A = this chain, B = another copy of it.
Amino acid sequence: RSADGAYQLRLSGLLQAHGYFFSDDHDDAVSDTFTLRRARLIFQGKLARYFDYFIMPDFGGSSPALIDAYVDVRYQPELSLRVGRFVSPFGLEHIRAAGNISFVERALPDNLVPDRDNGVQLFGELGRGAFEYALAVANGVVDGGTSQNDTSDAKEFVGRIFAHPFQSFGIEPLRGLGIGFAGTYGDQDGALPSYKTSGRQTFFAYRNGVVADGERFRISPQLFYNWDSFSILSEYVLSSQEVAWGGMSDTLENEAWQVALSYVLTGESITYKTMFYPVWGNGMRPRHGFDPLKRNKGPQTEIWAAPFQPSHPWGALEFVARYNRLDVDSKAFPVYADPFSSARSASAWAFGLNWYLSSHFRVTADYEQTDFEGGAASGDRPREKVAQVRFQAAF
């Protein structure tokens, strides 16, 4: 950091050690495992006041990869330019930083949402976050995919708007209401995606030889609401893609949605920050950081606002629950996907606890149960029951 703040370099990171444990898995189709889900290092900074850079490799997963790498020109907040590889401005849960999501894994709609792409983005905000927008031109990626190089000349357009219409009004319960809409439009040839459960098991894949062959668009209305220690995240995603196999072709529309609730038992508040100002850390600061040999002091809050107020500093505790569902277009079967190995729908509910020991260290434990229609020779793919644990350091 230079003396006048015109030059800065900040090194931060995110480490997520996960454990997945499946119950009722009688035929050992999947293995309980410890894994490093994300081990990200973030090199970001500012050059000559108006130029930001951001480089984030991830060393978790099966091999290291570059997740984000972009430069921003930020001369005026209303109109900025981003060039490089960045999160496609589309999915509500997806553009939330990986260290801030409420569950160990994102929900089923994340399967339909583009991940990272290479391209150019114009973005900005008006009225101190009351309205924000982003418009990108990029290589184009399949549902859930990340781009390296493009394999066609066609580019994908991605746009998103999000507003807090009541942000500057006096009505307290409405101030935290945010609504938005996102869409993509492009043309895709070749690869097609597959879809996974939160236990990271593939439940839907196209047949070998089926390819994307033409127009693809996606739309997503989305909502985030918070009031004190309570919040709701909800989104709907529709992904439409022309596919072809042999001489046949069709337009398939897959859709998914989720509603996720969060209640911080110890009374802290969680807000959803915009994609342009990522929050590092856990996204929440406990009133009392972990140090149980001490005693808490100070006034207690009302019981409805914080039902769990221990006498010693144990950190903050959040209860979360969600319902989420994905439906594959019924026209996909049996030509483009095998009904005996690919399910035509997955619906899941989950609940979990987030224990924030400090604003930078967090433990999450979830249970999620997913039911399928189709996807097995005997009818329905067996229910997946998975307990998931995460230890997270966000520095």
**Chain A residues packing against B (C-beta within 8 Å):** 7, 9, 11, 13, 15, 17, 19, 25, 28, 31-36, 39, 41, 43, 45, 47-51, 53, 55, 57, 59-60, 62-66, 69-71, 73, 83-85, 118-120, 138-139, 147-153, 155, 289-291, 357-361, 391-393, 395
Contact = CB atoms under 8 A, between A and B. Distances in A.
A78 to B, nearest CB: 14
A62 B13 CA distance: 23
Taken together, the copies of this chain in the complex come to 3
Nearest to A35: B149
B13 A11 contact: no
A139 B45 CA distance: 38
Given A119-B34, A153-B32, A360 B66 contact: no
A59 B55 contact: yes
A51 B357 contact: yes
A254 B289 CA distance: 49
Contacts of A48: 289-290, 357-361
A31 B138 contact: no
Contacts of A361: 47-48, 51, 71, 73
Contacts of A7: 360, 395
A51 B62 CA distance: 26
Given A15-B55, A36-B66, 9 more contacts: A9-B11, A11-B11, A17-B69, A25-B153, A41-B55, A50-B358, A64-B64, A71-B393, A73-B357
A78 B55 CA distance: 38
A311 B62 CA distance: 53
A263 B150 CA distance: 34
Contacts of A118: 17, 33-36
A335 to B, nearest CB: 28
22 contacts: A7-B395, A9-B11, A9-B395, A13-B43, A15-B69, A17-B83, A34-B138, A34-B150, A39-B57, A45-B395, A47-B358, A47-B395, A48-B290, A48-B359, A50-B290, A50-B357, A51-B358, A55-B59, A57-B59, A57-B64, A62-B148, A73-B361
A36 B51 CA distance: 18
Contacts of A9: 11, 395
A198 to B, nearest CB: 16
Contact of A360 (B17, B51, B120, B148): B51
A339 to B, nearest CB: 29
Given A34-B150, A289-B48, A361-B51, A63 B60 contact: no
Contacts of A359: 48
The 3 closest A-B pairs by CB, nearest first: A48-B358, A59-B66, A34-B118
A306 B171 CA distance: 60
A116 to B, nearest CB: 10
